[in-house]
């Protein structure tokens, strides 16, 4: 593997890296510590310049401190300093410490990811624990983690991230504003509304101490509609997806949260799940440029602070090598061609394609390929040791590690400049309105009347038992529209994530022809009879919007952002 150290944005940072290129911190890598350093050197540049401040701090870091900057593990327990016995045991096995705060302190971490597990989450397999519960619990946890990080050299708050994509992948499901899925935004087709909604969401995340969102998904869905991506994507048109990705990135960034565009260079034209195997991007370079890259470029231009590399076999660029470990993808394409100067973070390193090597070797390979942050190594002790050994052996060149660590610390300083909102701002009426606007604009009628109610005299709501909450939300919303839910009413059948193989249904009750509603990708509507509607999302805001359309109190202005065989993009919207 070759190593290319790309040019960093700030002139002071370039100078700092140049000065470090031939330096050694001592034979055992801890020269600064041996000299009695107990705190990082004072910045030689103005404190208001994050890049210069980071370069000055990094110049005094030991090997261990440099390595810590590029690690972003998970931890067990929902409190920074007090955890259960089982969480303590799991942390000790993973990292040799008992608590999340001790993990931050011992490893001098640059970041930590908060995870959550649910059965209907396509990313559930990589989440070994759950440490998100309520906003109050999360703010207490993140506060303790940030405090521990501020006591480390560099004195910066931690990068604390989570996968808050909304829709199928949503870690925090209560107490904060709930946006519709990305595909619903694509159906609404209103970038201004997208930006406003994601700014509201970012403000909520910032208030609870999360400053990195592993979103938006910048993948463009191919004709076969990648199952693992699905409604996580804004749609199938590269230009339209690019507008949405840029809007979401601007919204998050405006709220002081770093967006992480994923999964570079694009997971939407694959059929395999990268959690389980290595998906193949078989298209040629021209198709990659045309169909996959536009949303990433748009997000970069919108100011996204991070890009997540995907565990994807990009045949046109580096056959057989996961993009996460390919300098041809991350340096030649992302850095050089697209001009990205921010932090490149790996996809979870406990996914199958990254586990073909041990945690240490995989971490070294990821850094050498061009990543700056190693996310969720399967064993933190082994990942750290592998990076330290790589420094000693030369397989991990020091300039590459310094460059990566400096980028991470620069982002930490930059994010620290944004004030943290008060908890009283969470899920405000303005936030809820920002979520409701695109949810209402997304509702699409594929078959059925375009004026007046789609149901009359009452409805019967059916669907899998996992949609009990959605049925309750829809029942309440219909009541607000004056439509009772009763036996024998028009059948309204809810189909959501995981219901793709559901048999045709939607038989009408006493009220007439039935209605089938797609709360995820609309492909499930292809062989359904009766009236066909899509919300693309199962959020409460989407159920409220659906009720208004069913009652004939609102139009259905949405257009499907992906083609559905045998159906128009909309039977109603022009």
Q: Quick one: 347 and 287 in the same domain?
A: yes
What is the per-residue pLDDT for 298? 98
What is the per-residue pLDDT for 508? 47
Give 146's contacts (C-beta < 8 A, 6+ positions apart): 157, 158, 160, 209
What is the per-residue pLDDT for 129? 76
Tokens of 95: 């990292």
**44 has a pLDDT exceeding 50:** no
> Which ranges in 443-539 belong to alpha helices (H)?
468-480
Q: The domain that contains 160 carries what CATH number?
A: 3.20.20.300
CA distance 11 to 23: 19
Q: Quick one: 160 and 215 in the same domain?
A: yes
What is the per-residue pLDDT for 277? 60
CA distance 502 to 235: 22
Q: Quick one: 227 and 308 in the same domain?
A: yes
Q: Quick one: 480 and 353 in the same domain?
A: no
Kindly state whether residue 1 falls inside one of the protein's structural domains.
no
**Whole-prediction pTM value?**
0.89
Q: Quick one: 231 and 331 in the same domain?
A: yes
Per-residue confidence at 270, pLDDT binned at 50, 70, 90? confident
Kindly state whether residue 185 falls inside one of the protein's structural domains.
yes
How many Cα atoms within 13 Å fall on the side-chain side of residue 247? 22
Q: Quick one: 246 and 332 in the same domain?
A: yes
- What tens digit of pLDDT does each residue of 328-345 get? 999 999 999 999 999 999
Burial class (CB in 10 A: 0-12, 13-18, 19+), 280: middle
Q: Quick one: 54 and 144 in the same domain?
A: yes
Q: Quick one: 484 and 421 in the same domain?
A: no
- What tens digit of pLDDT does each residue of 425-480 get? 999 999 999 999 999 999 999 999 999 999 988 999 999 999 999 999 999 999 99
Active site residues: 275, 347
Task: Show the CA angle centred on residue 13, arms to residues 9 and 19, nearest 5°.
Answer: 135
CA distance 549 to 534: 11
Instruction: Tell me what the mean pLDDT of segment 543-549 comes to.
Output: 98
- What tens digit of pLDDT does each residue of 216-233 get? 999 999 887 667 799 999
Instruction: Tell me what the mean pLDDT of segment 288-308 comes to.
Output: 97
**523 has a pLDDT exceeding 70:** yes
Q: Quick one: 307 and 450 in the same domain?
A: no
| Helix, strand, or coil (residue 340) | coil
Q: Quick one: 409 and 461 in the same domain?
A: no
Q: Structural domain of residue 101, as residue ranges?
A: 11-425
Q: 339: how many CB neighbours lie within 10 A of its CB?
A: 12
Give the number of domains in the chain: 2
Q: Quick one: 449 and 413 in the same domain?
A: no
Tokens of 305: 């602070």
Give 309's contacts (C-beta < 8 A, 6+ positions apart): 263, 264, 323, 324, 329, 330, 334, 344, 345, 346, 347, 369, 370, 371
Phi, psi (degrees; rounded to nearest 5) at 110: -85, -25
Give 94's contacts (C-beta < 8 A, 6+ positions apart): 73, 75, 76, 379, 380, 381
Kindly state whether residue 91 falls inside one of the protein's structural domains.
yes
**550 has a pLDDT exceeding 60:** yes
How many Cα atoms within 13 Å fall on the side-chain side of residue 362? 28
Instruction: Tell me what the mean pLDDT of segment 373-391 comes to.
Output: 98
């Amino acid at each position: 593997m070759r190593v290319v150290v790309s040019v960093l944005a700030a002139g002071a940072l370039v100078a700092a890296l140049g000065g470090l290129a031939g330096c050694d911190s001592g034979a055992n890598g801890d020269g600064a510590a041996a000299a009695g350093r107990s705190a990082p050197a004072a910045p030689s540049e103005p404190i208001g310049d994050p890049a210069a401040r980071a370069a000055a701090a990094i110049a005094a870091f030991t090997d261990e401190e440099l390595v810590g900057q590029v690690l972003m593990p998970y931890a067990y327990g929902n409190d920074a300093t007090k955890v259960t016995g089982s969480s303590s045991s799991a942390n000790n096995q993973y990292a040799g410490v008992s608590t999340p705060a001790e993990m931050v302190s011992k490893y001098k971490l640059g970041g930590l990811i908060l995870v959550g597990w649910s059965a209907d989450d396509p990313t559930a397999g990589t989440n070994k624990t759950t440490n998100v519960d309520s906003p109050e619990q999360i703010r207490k946890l993140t506060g303790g983690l940030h405090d521990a990080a501020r006591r480390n050299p560099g004195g910066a708050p931690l990068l604390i991230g989570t996968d808050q994509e909304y829709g199928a992948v949503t870690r925090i499901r209560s107490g904060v504003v709930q946006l519709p899925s990305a595909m619903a935004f694509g159906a609404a087709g209103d970038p201004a509304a997208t930006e406003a909604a994601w700014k509201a969401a970012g403000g909520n995340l910032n208030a609870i101490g999360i400053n990195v969102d592993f979103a938006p998904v910048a993948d463009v869905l191919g004709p076969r509609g990648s199952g693992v991506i699905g409604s996580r994507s804004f749609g199938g048109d590269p230009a339209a997806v690019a507008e949405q990705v840029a809007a979401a990135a601007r919204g998050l960034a405006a709220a002081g949260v770093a967006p992480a565009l994923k999964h570079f260079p694009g997971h939407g034209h694959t059929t395999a799940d990268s959690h389980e195997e290595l998906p193949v991007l078989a298209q040629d370079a021209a198709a990659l440029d045309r169909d996959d890259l536009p949303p990433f470029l748009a997000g970069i231009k919108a100011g996204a602070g991070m890009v997540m590399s995907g565990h994807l076999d990009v045949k046109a660029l580096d056959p057989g090598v996961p993009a996460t470990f390919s300098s041809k993808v991350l340096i030649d394409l992302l850095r050089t061609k697209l001009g990205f100067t921010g932090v490149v973070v790996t996809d979870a390193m406990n996914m199958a394609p990254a586990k073909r090597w041990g945690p240490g070797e995989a971490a070294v390979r990821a850094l050498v390929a061009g990543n700056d942050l190693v996310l969720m190594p399967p064993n933190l002790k082994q990942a750290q040791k592998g990076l330290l050994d790589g420094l000693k052996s030369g397989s991990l060149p020091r300039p590459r590690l310094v460059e990566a660590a400096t980028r991470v610390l620069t982002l930490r300083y930059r994010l620290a400049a944004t004030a943290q909102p008060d908890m009283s701002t969470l899920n405000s009426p303005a936030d809820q309105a920002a979520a409701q606007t695109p949810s209402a604009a997304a509702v699409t009628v594929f078959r059925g009347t375009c004026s007046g109610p789609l149901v009359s005299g009452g409805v019967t709501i059916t669907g899998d038992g996992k949609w009990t909450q959605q049925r309750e939300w829809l029942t309440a919303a219909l009541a607000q529209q004056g439509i009772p839910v009763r036996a024998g009413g028009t059948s309204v059948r809810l189909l959501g994530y995981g219901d793709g193989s559901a048999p045709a249904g939607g038989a009408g009750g006493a009220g007439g022809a039935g209605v089938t509603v797609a709360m995820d990708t609309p492909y499930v509507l292809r062989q359904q009879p009766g009236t066909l509607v899509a919300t693309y999302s199962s959020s409460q805001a989407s159920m409220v919007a659906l009720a208004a359309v069913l009652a004939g109190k609102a139009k259905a202005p949405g257009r499907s952002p992906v083609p559905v065989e045998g159906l128009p993009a909309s039977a109603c919207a022009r």
